[in-house]
Amino acid sequence: MLKKYAKELAALKKMPGVFKTRDVCRLKIHPRNLYAMVNMGLLEKISRGTYRLPGRPQENPDIVNVAIRAPKGVICLISALAYHGITTQIPREVYLAVARGAEMPRLEYPPIRIFRFSKEPLDSGIETHIIDGVPVRIYNPEKTLADCFKFRGKVGLDTSIEALKMYLRRKNKNLNKLIMYAKICRVENVLRPYLESLL
């Protein structure tokens, strides 16, 4: 059976770590063959319409899956802190920022927690990182910290302060940038006393 799908598997090995049904169809692989390969264990179904080759190392499969299903969303708060290495928290959900009024992404897995942002805070501080071959929009560390202080009631003030302490130990910290994002998020007066006490 492996020989039967050798051509399809060779084409899929050139794909990024995670791919969608439409990407497979662009390779002229019939959906019937796609489903057969999943049933045989040659492909792994991550969620509805999202697949990967089994055994391929993955950097962050939950974030990648959310980025594929919600390309206009931005990874934020604890998920972004974890990505940037400025928290000891292990997110149980993927934290995702979306525009107010945007449609909720439908995902079987992983669990997501949605935060609705107005235009300027949503569009500020976005970096695009390639993870497992997929472009993922994530807030930079400074914007993430400002967001954490804005949503301190939901992520916890202790989590926000811990992240700020870890950030301040970095050589590449940028306090001017941090204050700029705090102003955009309207939390400069909340953040500044913690910042001054830790410097």
For the ranges 21-30, 40-49, 149-158, the one whose mean pLDDT is highest: 149-158
Q: Give the mean model confidence (pLDDT) for residues 63-82.
A: 93
Look at residues 12, 5, 62, 15 and name the one whose alpha carbon lies nearest to residue 39.
Answer: 5
Predicted TM-score (pTM) of the model is 0.78
For residue 175, what pLDDT is reported? 96
Closest alpha carbon to 16 in 78, 86, 90, 67: 67
Per-residue pLDDT band for 1 (boundaries 50, 70, 90) equals: low
Residue 126 has pLDDT above 70, yes or no: yes
DSSP symbol at 43: S
Tell me what the pLDDT averaged over the chain comes to: 89
Residue 73: is its pLDDT beyond 70? yes
22-26, 57-61, 165-169: least confident range: 57-61
User: How high is the pLDDT of residue 50?
Assistant: 76
CA distances from 165 to 87, 120, 161, 199 (A): 9, 26, 6, 9
Q: Which residue is listed with tokens 């202080």?
A: 149
pLDDT tens digits along 132-141: 878 999 999 9
Q: 136 vs 90, 140, 171, CA distance in Å? A: 19, 12, 25
Q: Which of 139, 131, 153, 132 is nearest to 184 (CA)?
A: 139
Among residues 31, 70, 71, the alpha carbon closest in space to that of 51 is found at 31
- Length, in residues, of the chain: 199
